[in-house]
A and B are shown apart, each in its own frame.
Chain A
């Protein structure tokens, strides 16, 4: 043990949390890239993912990793359904002001889902079983292996997502729509169906993040608000719609948070990311990766 080990522990912690925020922020980016809207109910998919995995692992007694898969599937299909039910008017030219419509309808959805969770699951904080027990001793620092596994799964999911976006037919089609919806429709891409799939993919990444962080923090109905706000900060920081920006931005936010906790005060953990947001808006309002498109 030396003097630096608490700092090092905080930094590693920041990277772990950052990788999971990265999952959420990438979900927002996919939705923004394809549908050109910001999903203000992102935190509620996070919450529902956490509850889904909680019920699979706690009530049904299966392994928590199975809970993550169930959470991903459940939030994916919920996302697809919600997109079909609520967001299709955006593309049928039935809405005059699209930003405002998307903003208010997803915000209303968030209000509904939080309070439905309060009514169904109750306001109590539940602790989900950890992914694995024990700790990993690296000599200088000790990490809980549950957290490390969560980060590894998050990174694996991020890589799978990047593979889907960059290498598969689905990803090519999604990128095409993100560049020009009408032209891609002329080229034979079913923009409507892929829009639903994009929303589902974005939602299930938030669900996965919730299932991964549920065991680290606690599971309760308003658990999604703060992570959602952090992913909003991340996408502004990394330029809206930029995949690179979402990933680097989330690592930056994770690191700044842990440094703030170490050097300033742990109580204000959630405030530091907001300070970054103000600085970005002042000096580089288009974000660090301004103008970056999908294929970057």
Chain B
């Protein structure tokens, strides 16, 4: 498993390094979008996959980060590099508040509250046009000025963000904290009996994952130069959930595989019409029903089968 993860990550890094040498601006744009989705789905996976708390407000919190960063840089003139961080912190704080409200209860309370929060948030930002410019969206300054001309800058920047986020998530999951949240996922009562502070851990993990979502949203805002309520729809949430689940919930490599492959599929399918979401929904249902470990699980079982076959033939040769 670990070995396979390393191989895939190294392969993707290599592709990411060579890509700007010969890819055109459109391809780089798609890759930047894919990175955005990969960050969102791995932070959602940190919450849902590792700690077992399903939230539907991830995209709403991402959009909250985007609006906060956009407004702070517009109204106060703070450079986007810092306003993106402010956006991430704002999303984290709202995450703590929602977490304290709902994570005292187990089961579906978080899901029920966050789906309501997400929809209400979208309604409010669409209506408060004096602050958010409503459905039209808010024009915000770019991180490096105009997007088109400096796309390689944006590409490098988001690649750095992806690496930092991934190393962070991986360290967190492997730490004692990561062990505790996985114990909570498996059995809250048992974890509490072993002395784990269940609610506090759940709230912290929710806050971290929300802050990462806010960071990704704010980055995307200063890349597309526009923040609109579109980012906070349940449909967008559906894309991110599909990516994590199809890739493999609770695995490190899953959201990367899911994010990249689904973003590529949707770019391809969009040429024929708006069918990609229907396909994602269908695959999501089928994966949950028949192969809950997703693409990552599939890869691992193929890999171990190959390894076993190799070892077997080795033994036969020696014998």
Contact = CB atoms under 8 A, between A and B. Distances in A.
B116 A277 contact: yes
B235 A270 contact: no
A119 B108 CA distance: 30
B119 A225 contact: yes
A264 B123 CA distance: 16
Contacts, number: 123
Interface string B15-47: 000000000000000000000000000000000
A125 B285 CA distance: 27
Nearest to B48: A100
Contacts of A116: 278, 281
A285 B277 contact: no
Nearest to B290: A89
A271 B122 CA distance: 10
A7 interface: no
B93 interface: no
Closest 8 CB pairs of A and B: A112-B281, A108-B284, A111-B281, A115-B278, A111-B238, A115-B277, A108-B285, A274-B120
Query: Is the contact region of chain B dominated by helix, strand, or loop, or is it mixed?
Result: helix
Interface residues of A, number: 46
Interface string B100-116: 01101101110111011
A236 B112 contact: yes
B48 A118 contact: no
30 contacts: A37-B108, A38-B108, A40-B115, A95-B292, A99-B108, A101-B288, A104-B54, A104-B245, A105-B289, A107-B284, A108-B238, A109-B281, A110-B281, A111-B235, A111-B284, A112-B282, A112-B285, A114-B281, A115-B277, A116-B281, A119-B274, A232-B112, A233-B116, A235-B112, A268-B127, A270-B119, A271-B120, A271-B123, A277-B113, A282-B101
A218 interface: no
B175 to A, nearest CB: 22
B288 A274 contact: no
Contacts of B245: 104, 108
A60 B270 CA distance: 34
Contact of B127 (A113, A233, A240, A267): A267
A97 interface: yes
A278 interface: yes
A105 B285 contact: yes
